[in-house]
Amino acid sequence: MRRILITGGCGFIGANFIRLELQADPELAIVNVDKLTYAGNLANLADVRHNSRYQFMRGDICDRELIGSLLQPGDISAVINFAAETHVDRSIQDSSPFVRTNVVGTQTLLDCCRKFGVARYLQVSTDEVYGSLGDNGKFTEETPLAPNSPYSASKAAADLLVRSYFQTFGFPAVITRCSNNYGPFQFPEKLIPLFIANAMRDQSLPVYGTGLNVRDWIHVGDHCRGIALAWRNGRSGEVYNFGGNSELTNLELTGQLLKALGKPQSLIKFVPDRPGHDHRYAIDISKAQRELGWSPHMTFEAGLRETVAWYLSNSEWLAGVMSGEYHKYYEQQYGPQG
């Protein structure tokens, strides 16, 4: 039985990936290391906690002794790094945790993987490292990195570290970059779950600026399938982009959410724009299609219906994650825009 190490597996994408892989591969065992910060939630994996092929350990990816102890037995064949601080608004307020986790944490993982001979490392990144697009064109894997927020800068720095380890040491690493994810178990500081939660309580939905910033949306299940293919079949040293071919302005998305929830458009509230707000993201997925045989399966319309239904059916989970630091933080913030 193969064993892999997942970092940040109690977060939104990591938890969905673990669930997918445990279902898809009966010969796979997973060790999940998560620091359990505000967005990491053990409840996200409550349905697999008694699975004999799943092991959880609370820990920090910056802890070299811990990571080394997990890799030292020599039976971990791959490390997939989901662990990251990810919220742009928080990075604008204080970039320190982003540099520590996203950059220093990645360096720690790379060093430990090299030391103990891990055969494959996958870095989960974001299209935000490419910066902002105009009204035309799409990001490809060859697009120069031009991050515009402290968050995206920290992710770009991590990507460059991974690239350097491949170039310098021949380290077997792959990088994946995706557009905006949505789906079940997403922490409600991100646009879709926040707006669902607000609309359910008849509270305003804060839309930055004019609401005309454009994002491409990918269902988390499609993203996780892409990561699984890149981990197994991707070429070392390569980057693979994953997108949903679903571009919408933030205003269009907000309107669709309100319609799906049966709430009035009058709940939209325009607020001052985020500093350095990227205008548009769009992903060219042709390389992933060509080399990995991947393409998105979920249409945005179907995915949004499914996502809204999930949050409506899991109000206890939503109330639980919103009862802590979320309230304190968003009393002074306008809210996210993807």
Q: Any idea which residues carry the catalytic annotation?
A: 127-128, 151
Structure tokens at 164: 């350097």
Distance CA 25, CA 128 (A): 31
Q: Say how many C-beta atoms besides its own lie within 10 A of residue 210's C-beta.
A: 11
- The residues facing 56 across adjacent strands are 32
Query: Rounded distance, CA 69 to CA 177, Å?
Result: 29
Q: Pairing state of beta strands 120-126 and 214-219?
A: unpaired
SS3 label, residue 172: coil
CA distance 319 to 338: 21
Q: Where are the alpha helices (DSSP H) in 72-211?
A: 88-93, 96-98, 105-115, 150-169, 191-200
85: left (phi over 0), alpha (psi -120 to 50) or beta: beta
Any idea what DSSP says for residue 332?
A: S
Of 46, 48, 51, the residue nearest 316 (C-alpha): 46
Helix (H, G, I), strand (E, B) or coil at 32: strand
Alpha carbon distance, N-terminus to C-terminus of the chain:
38
SS3 category, 258 = helix
Tokens representing 118 are 């891990």
